[in-house]
A and B are shown apart, each in its own frame.
Chain A
Amino acid sequence: MAEAIATRAAYGRCLACISDKYPDLVVMDADLSKSTMTADFKKVAPERFINAGIAENNMICMAGGLAASGKVVFVSTFAMFAAGRSYEQILNTLASSGLNVKVAATHAGLTVGEDGMSHQMVTDIALMRSIPDLRVMVPADGVETEAMVEEAIRTPGPVYIRLGRSKVPGLFEAGTEFEPGKIRTLREGSNVTLAACGIMVDLALQAADMLAQEGIYARVLNVSTIKPLDKETVLEAAHQTGAIVTCEEHSVLGGLGGAVAETVAESWPVPVLRVGIEDQFGQSGKPEELLELYGLTAHHIAEKAIKAISLKRA
């Protein structure tokens, strides 16, 4: 059985594991290292850990200066302050110069829970996706997180990696090989496609089980690289299943739903329905309560799938 672990925890553990393997690796944090889990790296390589204090914009730009001096830099803070507060630093200093900085943003989405809307970042995929030359990745579990960290190191240039606070079920066995940038098809199906990322991948699989009991066979895609998007696999799904439901712990505006809808609309139009946060702010609550309240459930995904099928043109 694959391990259930928060992606942030897998991230910190992975950084600590590979600290010796990559001597140019530098990790930065903005006073949240015990939450983002970069403290794991600090423990084993304190000389290559730099705390920027509560000053995210400066941290992003300092990382750029380190990268321009030959370092591979991971910077971590909560997604709200990385993608939100530091949007323009990521755009103007990191991405426009192609600097080798990996922004690993944790506590993305509603499952931050009790901290509420000020800390629940549900527009980061949309923001980061709009920046040229920035890769945007959302791992679905701990094993995929570890693979992405190493992939990010091996591929020069800026990356945004979206990580979560809460524990997620393990989907992949340790040692699973991932093809960089490629969408992984987790379940075959021909009636509808469920394209999911992050914590929603597991819920999409549950939704597929529910649909199967009604004789509806859903294909489930793990879209962990949102940019550049594996358009080929998306269009193949559009062509072969004729309807798509996107599932993300993010606003329905501009994120995975936006990326899939744009791709499909331009080349092979089929109904695309989006499961996500409906253009509204989050609030305090237990993560599982909030997911229910905002409709991020397997049940809701299954309902949307049935609706998407009904919208197919005869």
Chain B
Amino acid sequence: MSQLEMGRQQWTGPAGQFPLADIARQLRRDVINMVWAAKSGHPGGSLSSTDILTYLFYHEMNLDPQQPDWPDRDRFVLSKGHAAPILYAALARRGYFDPEELSTLRQQGSRLQGHPHYGSLPGIEMSTGSLGQGGSTAVGMALAGKLDKKDYRIFNLWGDGELEEGIVWESVMAAAHYKLDNLTGFVDWNGLQIDGPITQVMNPEPIDAKFRAFGWHVELADGHDFESIGRAIANAKETKGRPTLILCRTVKGKGVSFMENEAGWHGSAPNDAQRLQALADLADPGTSGEPAAQKEVNR
């Protein structure tokens, strides 16, 4: 079995001063390499949510990769569980596990299951993938935080197409009813789902008005601008007595020229040539994007 060499670059230690743009490029390259090696997976929605996860894991969240079960940690739930590749990359580069393991995505016996599985891998807060359920579990976690009078925060990421699931609105109603201001939801509003534009398949818009009507505070953000994401989170923390939605305008396939705004890249893997093109698009300034990532070693 040949295994892709992922490199061991990690950003561990306290958050706050990491180079977020560099990290996001690395995580995007990881996504491309993982999905290419697995020959299946979901690059489009992983790339559109990369900057949100980068900001949360490398700047915002109070966490300790050495103690993934630390009771007072902030929690992140990936309700859009099909974006597992970006979650795995974010966890590995943050220090939860060796980034070399990223290349095992979707292989038999791997801890990196096709969709996140609770208990398989440190840092996974909940099994997700069956759309809508993760958001409900995040509401449960926020309820637990309130019951225990803890001040940790819960972050949940929905896909925009995911909002078509009825259970999402059950959970949105419950979060407002229980005044869960420790809960911040994100929607990765890239506008595309498997069968096409969300507005054509089953229009969930206006998303902001729906959340407001359910009793949430709503922030609009550019999901590819760390300052914009950061301002929205700061406002969420200031908001008392109700949960906050950060509706993030994003581009599906962000960063890879031929994947951007193409619904077809929701759930398909790049071939060898496409991978190289993608890595070139995602190269750090002054490099070709090809180095270690292109090399294969036999194990």
Interfacial chain A residues near B133, Cβ < 8 Å: 57, 61, 64, 89, 92-93
One of A50, A55, A70, A97 near B127 (C-beta < 8 A): A97
Within 8 A of B (CB), among A48-107: 48, 50, 52-53, 55, 57-58, 60-71, 88-89, 92-93, 96-99
Residue B35 is within 8 A (CB to CB) of chain A in the complex: no
Interface stretch, picked from B56-64, B89-97, B171-179, B215-223, is B171-179
- Interchain CA distance A57-B166 in the complex, whole Å: 9
Interfacial chain A residues near B170, Cβ < 8 Å: 52-53, 55, 57-58
Residue B111 is within 8 A (CB to CB) of chain A in the complex: no
Interfacial chain A residues near B145, Cβ < 8 Å: 69
A65 touches B126 (CB 8 A): yes
Residue A47 is within 8 A (CB to CB) of chain B in the complex: yes
Of the candidates B118, B132, B173, the one having the most CB atoms from chain A within 10 angstroms of its own CB is B118
Residue B143 is within 8 A (CB to CB) of chain A in the complex: yes
- Interchain CA distance A93-B126 in the complex, whole Å: 8
- Contact of A61 with B144 at beta-carbon distance under 8 Å, contacts A53-B177, A96-B117 already known: no
Residue B13 is within 8 A (CB to CB) of chain A in the complex: no
A: interface residue count bin: 20 to 34
- Contact of A63 with B140 at beta-carbon distance under 8 Å, contacts A58-B167, A68-B126 already known: yes
Interfacial chain B residues near A92, Cβ < 8 Å: 127, 129-130, 133
One of A50, A65, A88, A93 near B141 (C-beta < 8 A): A65
- Interchain CA distance A66-B130 in the complex, whole Å: 19
- Contact of A98 with B147 at beta-carbon distance under 8 Å, contacts A68-B126, A69-B141, A92-B130 already known: no
Residue B71 is within 8 A (CB to CB) of chain A in the complex: yes
Q: Is the interface of B mostly helix, strand, loop or mixed?
A: helix
CB distance from B264 to the nearest CB of A (A): 27
Residue B229 is within 8 A (CB to CB) of chain A in the complex: no
- Interchain CA distance A99-B126 in the complex, whole Å: 10
Residue A221 is within 8 A (CB to CB) of chain B in the complex: no
Residue B14 is within 8 A (CB to CB) of chain A in the complex: no
- Interchain CA distance A70-B147 in the complex, whole Å: 11
CB distance from B64 to the nearest CB of A (A): 17
Q: Per-position contact with A for B218-248: 1 when CB-CB < 8 Å, else 0?
A: 0000000000000000000000000000000
Residue B78 is within 8 A (CB to CB) of chain A in the complex: no
B71 touches A70 (CB 8 A): yes
A97 touches B139 (CB 8 A): no
B147 touches A47 (CB 8 A): yes
A65 touches B147 (CB 8 A): no
Complex: chain A residue closest to B145, CB-CB = A69
Complex: chain B residue closest to A93, CB-CB = B133
Interfacial chain B residues near A99, Cβ < 8 Å: 118
Residue B119 is within 8 A (CB to CB) of chain A in the complex: yes
Residue A244 is within 8 A (CB to CB) of chain B in the complex: no
Complex: chain A residue closest to B127, CB-CB = A97
B144 touches A71 (CB 8 A): yes
Complex: chain A residue closest to B150, CB-CB = A69
Residue B40 is within 8 A (CB to CB) of chain A in the complex: no
Residues of B within 8 A of A (CB): 71, 77, 117-119, 125-127, 129-130, 132-134, 136-145, 147-148, 166-167, 170-171, 173-174, 177-178
4 interchain residue pairs of minimum CB distance: A65-B140, A61-B136, A69-B144, A58-B170
